[in-house]
Amino acid sequence: MTNAFDDVRRLVDTGDIPAAVRALRPLADTEPLPALAEQVRALAAAVGYDDLAGAAAEVARRPVGPQPLYDFGRRCTERGIPFLAVPALREALRLAPEARPVLYTLATALEADDRHAEVVEVLLRHESMLEPWPGRYLLAFNTLLAGDTATALDRIARLPEPSDAGWGWAHDRLRRMAGRAEAVARVTPLDGGDLRGWQFALTGTLLGTLSPYGFGVMAGRYGYLGDSRAGCRRGLDRLAAALDAAGVRPTAVSALPGRADRILALAAAEVLGVPLEPYAPGRADTVVVAYDLAAHGEEVLGGLRERAPGQVLYEHAGSWTEPDTVPADFTALQRQFGTEPWGSQLGPDGRGPADDRPEEDIARDVVAADPSDDPSASDTEDGSPDDGDPAFVRFATAAAALWLTGPRLPAGFTGPVRSARF
């Protein structure tokens, strides 16, 4: 007789912990909590998370009170598996309905799992318990991330200054989000399919282009993209349009230290008509160019957290499933997987060789490419929004006053626009 957890046990036994975690997700809200906790105990023990293993062992015993359930849920959230915290915290809140720490920890777990509408629902059910900080902050923040812009803006406006200075950064971030949302609301719908609008509102990043493919499923993001030189040129042209709309006049382009970064930076310098200079942290009035920021570690990204005057951080291909710890000011496109145009490309006969010509030669190809040859510029599918140059310029103009302002803070959330993951 098969058991719902057989696959989980097999994966733990073979050491495939990420797959075991994925196998637990569909069981989190259907299987009995003690049995679920026992699987978490075994998984945590396998990777040496003794704190989580101990908390899970307490919940696996029967009966269990609110404190062990709360401890288990908190440990699950801290260890990056918030979906496993939710059923335990819901039960803890049922047993201790007046316990604010349980309520707020449940909200935090749901928020970490991108279940923002559920955060709003559970907080409103216990609205009489909410203090301004963190309760009403969590309500306002998750109302915005759930896509209810009008209600969120009203709640944000009524949120008082926090008495604890430790919440100051959160209040500042939320007010900046609200300001950006208001700035672009007149030119974009900010609905569940408005990727560009929400990207700017939530992170301050301008998104250059939208994928038209399978828009009903991907909402403007790419799953896998075999990139093209025309696509790179189109992204640089959109950057130039955004700089012009904002009245920003960089004096140089700086390349991050990678072959793909240098190729794209050479092309960017030509397109923008400014010289290329070595990258240096804190350099002002320059466009810092990366093909993909995820290719760089803290030794590079650490120098980009603080915004230098007049500095613009440009990224061609951003990962939406694993957001950068330092968000770009401008991202040409969002994808989950992909290859560079000069990398090894998959063709009918397998993978072809990478283009190993000098970087300058490949950059000239990018500059010479016709952006209208980018398939996403011409293969517009029914249901996808207008992504023509005039529509982009209208958006960039509306965003201009608040673009390139504030700190570059990691997002850590997807927002209201959902796409299929692979």
Q: Is 357 helix (H, G, I), strand (E, B) or coil?
A: coil
158, 181, 204 — which closes off a domain?
A: 181
Is residue 110 one of the residues assigned to a domain? yes
Give the C-alpha separation, 241 to 237, whole Å.
Answer: 6
Q: How many domains would you assign to the chain?
A: 2
Q: Which among 232, 208, 245 is positioned nearest to 388, based on CA atoms? A: 208
Which CATH number covers residue 325? 3.40.50.2020
Q: Dihedral of CA 396/402/406/410: which sign? A: negative
Which residue do the tokens 């075999």 mark?
A: 226
Whether residue 255 sits in one domain with residue 335? yes
Whether residue 177 sits in one domain with residue 190? no
181, 211, 228 — which closes off a domain?
A: 181
Is residue 413 one of the residues assigned to a domain? no
Task: List CB contacts of 300: < 8 A, sequence separation 6 or more.
Answer: 256, 257
What's at 173, amino acid-wise? Answer: R
Q: Which among 127, 314, 117 is positioned nearest to 205, based on CA atoms? A: 314
Whether residue 28 sits in one domain with residue 11? yes
Whether residue 260 sits in one domain with residue 243? yes
Give the C-alpha separation, 401 to 114, whole Å.
Answer: 29
**338 phi/psi in degrees, rounded to 5:** 175, 175
Please report the pLDDT score of residue 382 as a whole number: 67
Whether residue 247 sits in one domain with residue 137? no
**359 phi/psi in degrees, rounded to 5:** -55, -35
Give the C-alpha separation, 293 to 93, whole Å.
Answer: 41
Give the C-alpha separation, 315 to 303, whole Å.
Answer: 15
Is residue 221 one of the residues assigned to a domain? yes
Owning domain of residue 69 = 6-181
Using CB atoms within 10 Å of the CB of residue 292, give its burial: 0 to 12 exposed, 13 to 18 middle, 19+ buried.
Answer: buried
**How far from 100 is each of 106, 123, 404, CA to CA, in Å?**
10, 10, 38
Whether residue 196 sits in one domain with residue 158? no
Is residue 410 one of the residues assigned to a domain? no
Alpha helices, DSSP H only, in 61-160? 66-78, 82-95, 100-112, 116-125, 137-145, 149-157
Whether residue 233 sits in one domain with residue 120? no
Whether residue 212 sits in one domain with residue 63? no
- pTM (2 d.p.): 0.92
Please report the pLDDT score of residue 422 as a whole number: 80
Please report the pLDDT score of residue 1 as a whole number: 40
Whether residue 329 sits in one domain with residue 247? yes
Whether residue 395 sits in one domain with residue 293? yes
Please report the pLDDT score of residue 122 as a whole number: 98
Judge contact between 329 and 180, C-beta under 8 A. Answer: no
Is residue 369 one of the residues assigned to a domain? yes
pLDDT in tens, the chain (422 residues): 458 899 999 999 999 999 999 999 999 999 999 999 999 999 999 999 999 999 999 999 878 899 999 999 999 999 999 999 999 999 999 999 999 999 999 999 999 999 999 999 999 999 999 999 999 999 999 999 999 999 999 999 999 999 999 999 999 999 999 999 999 999 999 999 999 999 999 999 999 999 999 999 999 999 999 999 999 999 999 999 999 999 999 999 999 999 999 999 999 999 999 999 989 999 999 999 999 999 999 999 999 999 999 999 999 999 988 888 899 999 999 999 999 999 877 666 667 789 999 999 999 999 999 999 887 776 666 678 899 999 999 999 999 999 999 999 988 888 999 999 88
Number of alpha carbons in the 13 Å side-chain half-sphere of residue 89: 25
Is residue 422 one of the residues assigned to a domain? no
Whether residue 117 sits in one domain with residue 235? no
Q: Is 286 helix (H, G, I), strand (E, B) or coil?
A: strand
Whether residue 171 sits in one domain with residue 156? yes
- Pairing relation of β-strands 346-347 and 350-351? antiparallel
Using CB atoms within 10 Å of the CB of residue 253, give its burial: 0 to 12 exposed, 13 to 18 middle, 19+ buried.
Answer: buried
